[in-house]
Structure formats: C-alpha cells, structure tokens
Amino acid sequence: MSTTQPTNDHGRRGVALDMDGIITDGMTFHAQSWQGTYQALCGVDLPELLIYEREGVKGDEFVRQLAPLLGLPAPDDATVAALNREKNRRFNDIFRVIPIPGIHDLVALLAGRLGYPLAVVTGSNRDTARHALAGLGLAGCFAHVVAADDVGRGKPHPEPYLTAARLLAVDPAHCLVIENAPAGISAAGAAGMACVAVTTSLPANYLRAADRIVADHGQLASLLLAEYGVSGGLGAWQLPGPDR
C-alpha cells in the first residue's frame, strides 16, 4: 500500500472493488482451506455457509467469530495464529487464479471508457492480491491495493474502504464500492459510500444492505453505462432505484 497522503481532487469519483467474488473466484479455495483446517486442528465440521457469510473478514477475527458458533472455547492468540497458519498453508497449496466472468470487460469500462481510478480492497493478504491481479493481467489497472495486512481493522469496519478513498484522493461519498458479501457491504455503508452488490457468492437476501443488487458483471456494466456512459461525472454517486 502506498504511504503517500493524497488530497481530495475536487469531487472526482473513484471505484473500490472487493477481490474474492468480484475479481477472482477464490472463495471455493478459501472455504476448502478453512474446512480442512478446522477438521484437522479442532475436529469439527465447518459449514460452508458460515464461511461465505463472513467473506472479507480478516482471518484473526474470522476465527474468533466462529468459536461460539462451533461450540469451541474462545481462542487465545496462539490458537488464532495456528489456525490461520494452517489455513494459509492449505490455501497456498490449492489456490488458482480464476477470473469472475466479465471482470475484464468491467475493469475496461470503469478504468478506460469512464476513466475512474480503481482500488482493490480485500480481506486477503497483499501477496495473494498481487498474485491474483498479475495472473489476470489486471495489475496495471488498479492504482492501489488495500489488503488485510494494510489495515488494523478489517471489514465490516470502514477502515479498509476509507483507506482506499484516501489513496484514490476521493471523498468517501464519491467512491463507489462493488461487493458481494455482507461484511464488505457493511464496511462500505459505515464509510459513507454507495455500494452495488453482485450475487456471485450469496443470494440477494444476504445483500439487502447494498444500494443496488445485480446478478452479474454484465448487469452491473449495463447499469453503469445507462447512468454514466457519456462521462464519468463528478460528485456523489446517485444510483437509480433498487433492483432486488
């Protein structure tokens, strides 16, 4: 993450995209890694839904949230660290970079035709994020990456998205968030940002806190083209009525 301190650029807009479920199809690998970790180290089965509901949450907080839901004692720091190490080991063994359908066209629209500066905001670590973007040929399209190791508090806290807005030199109200998970949607709302959710991982009833919900990247591109296809525009995002 850049250490510079940009200043706001007179109302220009920016866009912050989550990574897993928006840019890459990585949640299957995260889920398999967490399930294997909890079976091996705790002897419990971890339902997949519990993982997807917490997509984007930093690993340490994820472990602490799961303990009471799985009937496990509150973990100490050593246990949290051990579970995360094992999960990361398993994830690194199986992870492959798979694009979400339509992401290349969406990035071309946002960064090219509409001219918005882009940031990635992810609960994954920086190395994983860089590897994924490079693998998709998209690294040069994003001005900044805000990863789990760049912030003290992860989603659903607003810090990750507020950090992205600062780095993009845009007011939070002028930054659109593209998400697919409840924690990220909550983080965007707490940051004062408009949010479009895409149902790539969870059905729409889990995403109702977003300003708009769309089925896929093609529908999102159509929405943006219909509203902002002539020019990128300035100021706060004004999304049309909900499509849920």
Regarding the domain with residue range 27-94, which homologous superfamily does it belong to in the CATH classification?
Putative phosphatase; domain 2 (1.10.150.240)
Answer whether residue 244 shows pLDDT above 50: no
Mean pLDDT of 80-95: 97
User: The tokens of 67 are what?
Assistant: 């303990």
State the span(s) of the chain assigned CATH 3.40.50.1000.
Answer: 14-25+98-228
Which residues are bridge partners to 40 per DSSP? none
Question: What is residue 229's predicted lDDT score, i.e. its pLDDT?
Answer: 64
Listed in sequence order, the residues at least 6 apart from 84 whose beta carbon sits closer than 8 Å to its beta carbon are 59, 60, 63
Answer whether residue 206 shows pLDDT above 90: yes
pTM score, two decimals? 0.88
Cβ-in-10-Å burial (0-12, 13-18, 19+) of 99 comes to: middle
pLDDT band at 2 (very low <50, low <70, confident <90, very high): very low
pLDDT digits (tens, 9 = 90+) for 145-160: 999 999 999 999 999 9
User: The tokens of 69 are what?
Assistant: 């839901």
Question: What is residue 10's predicted lDDT score, i.e. its pLDDT?
Answer: 54
pLDDT digits (tens, 9 = 90+) for 48-78: 999 999 998 999 999 999 999 999 999 999 9
Question: What is residue 139's predicted lDDT score, i.e. its pLDDT?
Answer: 96
Catalytically active residues, by annotation: 18
State the span(s) of the chain assigned CATH 1.10.150.240.
Answer: 27-94
Q: Which fold has domain 14-25+98-228?
A: Rossmann fold (3.40.50)
d(Cα 29, Cα 25) in Å, to the nearest integer? 9
Judged by DSSP in three states, 28 sits in helix
d(Cα 53, Cα 185) in Å, to the nearest integer? 12
More confident residue, 222 or 242: 222
Judged by DSSP in three states, 186 sits in helix
Question: What is residue 12's predicted lDDT score, i.e. its pLDDT?
Answer: 86
Question: What is residue 234's predicted lDDT score, i.e. its pLDDT?
Answer: 64
